[in-house]
Amino acid sequence: MADEPLPVPADRLPRHVGIIMDGNGRWARSRGLPRGEGHERGADAVRTVVRAARKMGISALTLFAFSSQNWDRPPEEVFHLMELLRRYLHEEREEILENGIRLVSVGQIDRLPAHVREPLEELKAASASNRDMILCLALSYGGRETITAAARDLARAALRGEVDPDTVTPEVFERFMESSRLLPPLDLLVRTSGEHRVSNFFLWELAYAELHFTETMWPDFGRDDLVEALVDYARRERRFGKTSEQVAAVAEPAPAEPAHGGSAR
Ligand code: FPP
């Protein structure tokens, strides 16, 4: 539920927004600062954007906070990012619980160090009955890795005789994707820092999402940038493979037949 006037009509608001938070390093370098400072300011931007999204009534927000490939960064940078996550979970705990936010995660969280995994699991459990917004952290997350895991689970289910391979459709497969159990369909992907890639994020979920790219570096991303993305999204016509005319016909149903004397066709 929105707490403030909406920048777009409520029925044009995306239910689920995913953000690839990019540009922390370049933000720092352009200021002569160490990369870590960019991540620190990036964590501040996370706080701002989560708050703004909740106030605007967005149902679900997924933040790509650490990819499966980010483990290959220098150990001191990985350590710093883990420390930022630990701090975030500690410092935002009350705000998350008091504001009706349900925390969930996607990704291989068993790879996270205990000092991140344990508070993450604790806050996920403590916030499980919250209903105002889902905040999903994509951690140790890769789109290909997730699809592969779903394929493995599906193969196991088939071996147990629970699934007939001939009946596997995209809808059946999707039931094995962790995101489908936790989140509404992805409506809008935002990527910051001027890069035009999806970088192994939500590969399955992106099939019909709208894409919004901005030059803003993640540490500078704030409420106004989120509003700009929402306004851009609200202008889009989502056709899901249909024609404009078909979409318009669903949006504006044909006038009702007259009660008497109308044609039965
Ligand atoms: C990409 O910027 C950003 C990341 C790999 C990490 C994102 C992490 C945060 C925003 C902070 C911690 C998160 C939470 C949820 C508290 P980059 O380092 O690749 O930037 P560059 O492309 O400019 O080098």
Q: Which has the higher per-residue pLDDT, 258 or 72?
A: 72
Using one digit for the tens of pLDDT, what is the confidence trace for 134-180? 999 999 999 999 999 999 999 999 999 999 999 999 999 999 999 99
Q: Determine if ligand 1 sits within 6 Å of the CB of residue 116.
A: no
Question: Is residue 85 in contact with ligand 1, taking CB distance under 6 Å?
Answer: yes
Query: Is 135 part of any domain?
Result: yes
pTM to 2 decimal places = 0.93
* CB proximity list for 122: less than 8 A, separation 6 or greater: none
Cα of 34 vs centre of ligand 1, distance in Å, is 13
Q: What phi-psi label fits residue 224: left (phi over 0), alpha (psi between -120 and 50 degrees) or beta?
A: alpha
pLDDT tens per residue, range 178-192: 999 999 999 999 999
Binding site membership of 88 for ligand 1 (Cβ less than 6 Å): yes
CA 1 to chain centre: 18
pLDDT of 27-50, one tens digit each? Answer: 999 999 999 999 999 999 999 999
* C-alpha to C-alpha distance for 15 and 58, rounded to whole angstroms: 6
* Range of the structural domain that residue 58 is part of: 12-145+186-237
Question: 87 CA distance to ligand 1 centroid (A)?
Answer: 15
Record the tokens describing residue 258, joined without a space: 């007259």
Strand partners for 213: 191
Backbone φ and ψ of 65, nearest 5°: -95, -25
Best CA proximity match to 106, nearest among 207, 209, 205, 233: 205
3-state secondary structure 98-149: HCCEEEEEECCHHHCCHHHHHHHHHHHHHCCCCCCEEEEEEEEECHHHHHHH
Can you tell me the distance from the alpha carbon of 2 to that of 246, in angstroms, rounded to the nearest whole number?
A: 31
pLDDT digits (tens, 9 = 90+) for 207-222: 999 999 999 999 999 9
248 domain residue, yes or no: no
Residue 209 maps to a domain: yes
Q: Which two tokens stand for residue 52?
A: 């703004």
- What confidence tier does 261 reach under pLDDT thresholds 50, 70, 90? very low
List the one residue out of 70, 137, 81 whose CA is nearest residue 106: 137
Residues 13, 236 contacting (CB under 8 angstroms): no
141 lines ligand 1 (CB under 6 A): no
Q: Which residues are catalytic?
A: 22, 70
Domain for residue 164, yes or no? no
DSSP string of 47-64, one letter each residue: HHHHHHHHHHT-SEEEEE
Q: What is the mean pLDDT of the chain?
A: 94
In a domain, 194, yes or no: yes
Note whether residue 81 is domain-resident: yes
Judge whether residue 265 has pLDDT over 70: no
CATH number of the domain residue 230 falls in:
3.40.1180.10
- 260 in a structural domain: no
| Closest CA to ligand 1's atom 22 | 23
Residue 79 has which token pair? 């350590």
The structural domain count of the chain equals 1
Q: Which residues contact 221 (CB under 8 A, 6 or more apart)?
A: 21, 45, 48, 49, 192, 214
Position in ligand 1 atom list of the atom nearest CA 40: 11
Q: At what angle do helices 75-91 and 114-126 cross, to 10 degrees?
A: 30
Of 48, 50, 86, 96, which is closest to residue 66 (Cα–Cα)?
86
The verdict on residue 7 lying in a domain is no
Q: Output the CA angle 166-171-177, nearest 5 degrees.
A: 105
